[in-house]
Structure 1
Amino acid sequence: MRTGGIDSSQIQSMIAQLKAHATRPGLTPPVIQTEAPAQPKVDFSDALKTALDGVNASARTAEGLGKQFASGDDSVSLSDVMIAQQKSSINFQAAIQVRNKLVSAYHDIMNMQV
């Protein structure tokens, strides 16, 4: 029987093949994960310290490259120094923005009426 260009016997045979495949021994049904895997707890102070350590490390790297370039080290190019300084500057500005948001949130909480 054909309805609208689709042969129903082909559909039935395909369904039968799928059922036969699903009931084969040795196959395990797929496991559907309903919960996200447990993430390790991150302490805010640890995350903040890690971020600030990263900012400090980028500043030290930029400073070290600048000193090497100024002393005439041929292995350090001016572009490396400038890129390191720009990365350091961007990291520092991001840290300043985070600090400003934290101070603003602190003031908002302190000004709440209880």
Structure 2
Amino acid sequence: MKIDTNIQAIALQNKMELMKLQASSDIKSNPIINTQAVSFSDTMNNMVNGINQQQLAAGAKMAAVDAGRSDDLVGAMVMSQKAGLSFSVLMQVRNKLMSGFDDIMRMPL
């Protein structure tokens, strides 16, 4: 199990390095950086949907361990922690956005 976790961690690091290289080459090759409009609501919807999928996958893994269909308790716990951290980040982003909105609403005209 530990070897599988290490392999997954290495694969994730390699994927992150590849994404970093792709992002840096895109910035260098494009003199005008991304002129397309990015929709805030689409970004938030994608983020919420991604976190929901993580929560569902973690729940499914935990249910499989509870039912005895899987013995990957460590994987289930790690996935559960990842989903919990993602949700915490989402709540922090929401809190910052609401705080900024409140500040804007309190500004005198």
Q: TM-score, normalising length from structure 1?
A: 0.65
The 1:37–1:96 alpha-carbon spacing in structure 2 relative to 1, beyond 3 Å, is: closer
Give the greater-gyration-radius structure (CA): 1
User: 2: CA distance between counterparts of 1:102 and 1:56?
Assistant: 20
Per-residue CA shift, 1:6-34, capped at 9, x if unaligned?
A: xxxxxxxxxxxxxxxxxxxxxxxxxxx78
User: 2: CA distance between counterparts of 1:95 and 1:48?
Assistant: 9
| Matching residue of 2:3 | none
Figure out how many residues of one structure are paired with residues of the other and give that number: 81
In the alignment, structure 1 residue 89 sits paired with structure 2 residue 72: no
Per-residue CA shift, 1:70-100, capped at 9, x if unaligned?
A: 11013x5001100110000100000000010
Q: 1:48 aligns with which of 44, 50, 53?
A: 44
SS at match of 1:35: coil
- Report the residue type matching 1:99 in the other structure: R
C-alpha displacement of 1:42: 1.3
- Report the residue type matching 2:43 in the other structure: A
- Report the residue type matching 1:73 in the other structure: R
User: 1: CA distance between counterparts of 2:108 and 2:102?
Assistant: 12
Structure showing the higher helix proportion among its residues: 2
Identity rate of aligned residues, in percent?
30
User: 1: CA distance between counterparts of 2:33 and 2:95?
Assistant: 33
Structure 1 vs Structure 2 CA RMSD: 1.7
Q: TM-score, normalising length from structure 2?
A: 0.68
Structure 1: any 5+ residue segments left out of the alignment? 1-32
C-alpha displacement of 1:36: 2.1
C-alpha displacement of 1:35: 2.7
Q: 1:63 aligns with which of 59, 74, 82?
A: 59
- Report the residue type matching 2:97 in the other structure: L
Q: 1:36 aligns with which of 32, 37, 45?
A: 32
